[in-house]
Amino acid sequence: MKIKTKLTYGIGILFAMIVLLGALSLGYINKLNNETQKIYTNNNYSLNYCRNMLLVLDNVHTSKSAFQVFMSNLQKQQKNLTEVNEKETTDRLTFHFEELKNKMNEQNLQKVRSDIYAIMNLNMASIYHKSELAKQTANNALLWIYMTFSTCVFFALAILFRFPHSIIKPIKELTGGIMEIANHNYDKRLNFEPTSEFGEVSTSFNKMAERLNEYRASTLSDIIANKKYIEAIVNSITEPIIGLNNEKEILFINDEALNILNLKRENVIKKSASELSLKNDLLRRLVRELVNPGEKKEPLKIYADNKESYFQANYIPIKIVETGETELHSIGDVILLKNITEFKELDTAKTTFLSTISHELKTPISAIMMSLQLLEDKRVGQLNEEQESLSQSIKDNSERLLNITGELLKVTQVETGKLQLMPKITKPIELIDYAIKATRMLAEKFGCHIEVEYPEKISKLFVDSEKIAWVLTNLLSNAIHYSKENSRIIIGAKQIDDVVELYVQDFGKGIDPRYHQSIFDRYFRVPGTKVQGSGLGLSISKDFIEAHDGTLTVESEVGKGSKFVIRFNVR
C-alpha cells in the first residue's frame, strides 16, 4: 500500500473516531440532561405542590389564604400529570377535597391527606425509577465513551508506532542496498511492494544491480584474459623478470626467474619478497639493491643448469597516473635480469689479452728505451741534428707507449680483482710533492705555474701512497695538458671536519656538464679532444680512490676550468 494511502486511512480513522467520541459524549450528556430535567419538572414540581397542600391542609376550613394556597397547588398538580395513575389519584384528591369543603371532618381530612401521600408516593417512585434509568444511561455512556476512547487510543498508538516504521523500513532497506552495491555486492536485490512509492525505486535499483553484475562479469573476463595475455608475454621473455608492488610483494615472475632463483611459482606469487629472501641469498641481494638504489650493482654470479652465469640486474620503477589524478605515482618495480655471461666471458678474455699484451710489450719497449739511451751516449757516436730529433721522437713515443701499457696493466689489475693496496700512514704533502716532481718536466714544457695550497694543520692519511700519488700525478698531468700554455694550476689539500680533500684545479678549457659522469668511464674521451691520450687515466684514478673508500669528483665549467677533488674520511 502507498504511504499516502496509509497516511489518509490512518488519519481518517483517527478523525472518525474522534468525531464518534464527541458525538457519543454529546448524545449521552444530552440524554442525561433530559432525564434529570424530566425528574425535576414532572416529579419534583408535583412533590412541591403536594408538600404545600399538606402544609395548609389543616387550616383550609379556617383560613381563606390557606384555602387559596391549597387550591392553587391543586390546580398546578392537575396540570402536571406525568405518571401512570397520577390523573386518577389527582381526580380522587379533587373529589375528596370537594367532599372536605362540604363537610369538614377528620375522616374527609384523612382521605385528602392519603390522596396527597399517594400522589407523593407515585412521584417518589417515579423519581427513583428515573434516577435508576439515568444511572443506567450514565453507565452506558461511560462504557461507550471508554470503548470509543480506547479504540481511539489504540489507533493513535498504532499509527504512532507503525507509521514511522513503515516509512523508515523501505528507506533503511534502500540505504542498505546502496551500501551493498558500494561494497561491490552486485547480487543485492530489493523487494518492495510494486504498488508502493518505493516499488519503482526498487525496480530501478534491481535493474542497476543487474547491469553492474553484467558489467563486472564482462570486465572480469576481460581482465582475466588480459592478465593471461600479460602472463604469457612475461613468460615468453627469455630474460628473468620479476614484478613487485610497493609493499615488495611479488606480483609476477617468469619461469626463467623461478629457475635461477630456484623457487616455485605457487610459493612466491603475492608473497613478500623480503620474507622469501630470508631463505634465498640471490633474492636477498636483488631486494637489497632495490631498496638501496645508491649501492654499486655488481653482476650476479649464478650457478644454474650446472654452469656459471652472470646477470646484470636492472631495476625499473613502474609509475602510473591513477584515474582521476594528474600526477604520476609509483605502483611498484620490475627487476629485469640481463644475462651477460657472454659479455663477461668476452670481457675476461679481453682483460686477459690486455694483461698479456701489456706485459709482453713492456719488455720490448724497455729494450727500445735502453737502446735509445745507448744511441744518445756520445761514447757510441755523435748523432747529427736530424738523427737527434728522430731519436727524441722515438723516445717520446716509447714513453707514451710505456705509459699506455702501464695504464692497461692497472686496468686489468682492477678488473681481475688483483688490485692490492699496501696502505701506510702518509702526509698529504708527500703525495702532492711526488705529483709535482713527476710532472715538473711537463709543466716546464708548457710553461705552467703550479701553486700549492696547504694548511698548517691537516690529518695524516692511511693510504697506499704509490696509488694515490699516481692519481694526483695523473690529475696534474691532465690539468697541464688541458690548460693553455703559461697558465696557473693549483694543487692542494684541506680538511673539513673529518674529511681530507686533495684537489687539482686548472683554469683551462673546462668540461661540459654533460660529460661530468662519462669522463670516469673506461676509454671515454670528451668528443673533440685533440690532446693524445687513452681515456683510461680518470677511470683508473676513480677505481684507486674508491678502493680506499674515498670519492673522486669533478667541478667544471666550460671556459673557466676544472677542479678534481679527492675526498677521504679520516675518522
Binding site for ligand ADP (CB under 6 A): 478-479, 482, 506, 508-509, 511, 519, 525-526, 529, 533-539, 562
Closest approach of ligand ADP to the CB of residue 528, in Å: 8
Min dist CB 493 to ligand ADP, Å, is: 18
Choice between 286 and 511, CB closer to ligand ADP? 511
Nearer to ligand ADP among residue 199 and residue 535 (C-beta):
535
- Three cell numbers written together for 80: 402536571
- Considering the complex, state which of residue 25 and residue 534 has its C-beta at the smaller distance from ligand ADP: 534
**Shortest Å, Cβ 288 to ligand ADP:** 31
List the grid coordinates of 391. 731519436
Which helix (H) or strand (E) covers residue 495, if one does?
strand 488-496
- Give, as one character, the DSSP assignment of residue 188: -
Angle, alpha carbons 81-86-92 (nearest 5°): 115
Q: How far is the CB of 546 from ligand ADP (least distance, A)?
A: 15
What residue spans of 314-464 are helical by DSSP H?
341-376, 385-415, 428-438, 440-446
Q: Which residue is nearest to ligand ADP (CB)?
A: 533
Nearer CB in complex with ligand ADP: 278/558 = 558
Q: Hey, what long-range contacts does 402-407 have (CB within 8 A, 24 or more apart)?
A: 402/362, 402/365, 402/366, 402/369, 404/534, 404/536, 405/357, 405/358, 405/361, 405/362, 405/365, 406/358, 407/534, 407/536, 407/537, 407/540
Whose Cβ is closer to ligand ADP: residue 112's or residue 411's?
A: 411
CB of 491 to ligand ADP, least distance (A): 12
DSSP codes joined into one string, 238-278: SS-EEEEETT-BEEEE-HHHHHHHT--HHHHTTSBHHHHGG
Nearest distance, CB of residue 465 and ligand ADP, angstroms? 20
Pairing of strands 300-304, 307-321: antiparallel
CB of 553 to ligand ADP, least distance (A): 13
Under 8 Å between Cβ of 373 and 500: no
Could you count the other beta carbons within 10 Å of the beta carbon of residue 437?
11
CB nearer to ligand ADP: pick between 448 and 536: 536
Nearer to ligand ADP, 76 or 522 (CB): 522
Nearer to ligand ADP by C-beta: 329 or 560?
A: 560
Burial of 53 (0-12, 13-18, 19+ CB in 10 A): buried
DSSP of 194-241, one letter per residue? TTSHHHHHHHHHHHHHHHHHHHHHHHHHHHHHHHHHHHHHHHH-SS-E
DSSP 68: H
Least distance between ligand ADP and beta carbon 530 (Å) = 9
Residue placing its CB nearer to ligand ADP in the complex, 280 or 534: 534
Q: How far is the CB of 518 from ligand ADP (least distance, A)?
A: 9
Q: Are 535 and 551 in contact (CB under 8 A)?
A: no
